[in-house]
Amino acid sequence: MDFKNFINGKWCDSVSGKRFEKRNPANVDDVIGTFPESTPEDVEKAVEAARKAYKMWRQVPAPKRAEVMKKVGDLLVQRKKELAKIATREMGKILLETEADVQEGIDTAYYAFGEGRRLFSFTTPSELTDKVCITFRRPVGVCGIITPWNFPMAIPCWKILPAIVCGNAVVFKPSREAPHTATKLVEILLEAGVPEGVINLVHGPGGVIGEAIASHPGIDLISFTGSVEVGKRISELSSKTLKKVSLELGGKNAQIVMDDADLELALDGVIWGAFGTTGQRCTATSRLILHEKIHDRFVEMLVERAKKIKIGDGLKPETEMGPLVSEKQLKKVEYYVELGKKEGAKLVCGGKRYTENGCDKGYFYEPTIFIDVKPDMRIAQEEIFGPVLSVIKVKSFEEAIEVMNSTNYGLSSSIYTRDVVKAMKAIELIEAGITYVNAPTIGAECHLPFGGIKNTGNGHREGGWTVYEIFTEIQTVYIDYSGRLQRAQIETWKE
């Protein structure tokens, strides 16, 4: 099937006439379809349409804009299973997870519906008599939305729905690894009532389309989720036109298990955190920090459990872990596994491609566990984005926190302990945007802020009320009804 861009209210091919192919990572013989290999000229047309539509859309009352989000949520509910199958087929994770991915979109849509009647701002006293000080949230303009493949429905919804509720227009570039789900989302937005020009979809390579969006003077804001390297490039390009930029980048998340922890609960957490989505989450558990007193026992439990994970096509109900998304990602995982061996870490589980039970035509990789990992090893410092877990032994709570904070990332974190003092102290000392107590490093909810510190981003938080701060500007208004000139900081109140 040949899919199209959506620009200025019309489904259209790229001006280049070229197309790229998307195949199922569980079976490369399965061709999902072809998509436009777009050019900067296509971006130009999308921006032109968005700028025109923005002038109209920003004047629609926010509660009316939000009513569209209610319809989006309703449509997502109706098509949840269909959309989950589409997402699994194009990016690989199991149906249980892609249904949750769509549910995140549903939750975000309904939250956006409510937020349209809030969009709160501040009223504050003036220092002068007969004067009022108020603020308003105003739309930013045209937003360039660039999303990854690992949450093909949730992450676009995190960004696009708040942007539209706030009165902005959107130019949307999804990942080349998840173009079909993106197309379906745009179809749903249109069916729900988003006007032509307010949403524009441009498929294509990040090196071409992403750069064109980031550097375009007609785009006022960039919201990007992806790698640190690409995020820095987007920031560099956007700075030339002083765009507002929101970056949600990588993670090297760790789960601490103390010697007083419920080990069965901690085991459930790390299996889900490390191998859910085949480790392809920015919040995935890629480091496991174990107290020495429970280290050997826990590793034994972990390896036994990991070896039982059922690998296969995510569309099959018995599958517990699907493929990596692409050959490129498979080769990256293979590189880091070899690197871990060379660094001196001990491989105790997995470590090779999985080709059994009909998996020989996909990008499958075994759940992989290293022990004897030192905190400064590259496999403990760099984001792998695959089913590879590095286990680090520590002697104390203090050392566990030190190891936790020893990377350039600060997205998600977790500690398992029955000691409330240690739990509260960990919350205080861990350098991360998200911390879980007795729960894995994955599991964010849409109504709470999501994001991190250090190389994980540039300080913004998606999700909850904070994402609406990204997609609005603050207008401060002073209303003086005194009938005379009043000078702030000069005049003083007189009785």
Residue-wise pLDDT for 73-115, tens only, equals 999 999 999 999 999 999 999 999 999 999 999 999 999 999 9
pLDDT band for position 246 (cuts 50, 70, 90):
very high
Of 157, 166, 282, 446, catalytic: 282
For the stretch 406-432, pLDDT in tens is 999 999 999 999 999 999 999 999 999
Q: Supply the mean pLDDT for the chain.
A: 97
Alpha helical stretches, state H, 79-206: 80-91, 95-115, 154-165, 179-192
Instruction: Respond yes or no: is residue 48 known to be catalytic.
Output: no
**Cα–Cα distance, 124 to 162 (Å, whole number):** 26
Per-residue pLDDT, averaged over 247-260, amounts to 97
Question: How far, rounded to the nearest angstrom, does the alpha carbon of residue 127 sit from its chain's CA centroid?
Answer: 43
Return the SS3 of 464.
Answer: coil
pLDDT at position 455 is: 96
The answer on pLDDT for 192 being more than 80 is yes
Q: What is the mean pLDDT of residues 232-249?
A: 97
State the pLDDT confidence band at 492, using cuts at 50, 70 and 90: confident
Predicted pLDDT at 491:
81
Q: Which pLDDT score, from 0 to 100, does residue 494 have?
A: 65
Question: What is the percent of the chain with per-residue pLDDT over 90, rounded to a whole number?
Answer: 99
Q: Which CATH architecture has domain 5-249+457-477?
A: 3-Layer(aba) Sandwich (3.40)
Q: What is the mean pLDDT of residues 285-309?
A: 98
Q: With 70 as the cut, is the pLDDT of residue 495 above it?
A: no
**Domain 253-437 CATH class label:** alpha beta
The single residue of 67, 90, 248, 366 carrying the catalytic annotation is 248
Question: Radius of gyration over alpha carbons of the chain, in Å?
Answer: 24
- Distance separating alpha carbons of residues 432 and 429, to the nearest angstrom: 9
Residues in the chain: 495
Q: Is the pLDDT of residue 224 over 80?
A: yes
Q: What is the pLDDT of residues 4-32, one digit of tens each?
A: 999 999 999 999 999 999 999 999 999 99
Question: Is 248 marked active-site?
Answer: yes
| Residue 349 in this model has a pLDDT that exceeds 80 | yes
What is the average per-residue pLDDT within 157-176? 98
- pLDDT of the residue at 472: 98
Q: Where in the chain is the domain with CATH 3.40.605.10?
A: 5-249+457-477
| pLDDT tens column, 120-140 | 999 999 999 999 999 999 999
Q: Give the mean pLDDT of 257-282.
A: 98
pLDDT, position 493: 67
Q: What is the pLDDT of residues 430-468, one digit of tens each?
A: 999 999 999 999 999 999 999 999 999 999 999 999 999
CA–CA distance, 42 with 205 (Å, rounded to integer): 12
Sheet containing 5-7, strands listed edge to edge, beginning at the edge strand earlier in sequence: 10-12, 5-7, 199-201, 169-173, 142-146, 221-225, 244-248
Q: What percent of the chain has a predicted confidence (pLDDT) above 70?
A: 99
Q: 137 - beta bridge partners?
A: 474
| CATH 3.40.309.10 domain residues, the chain | 253-437
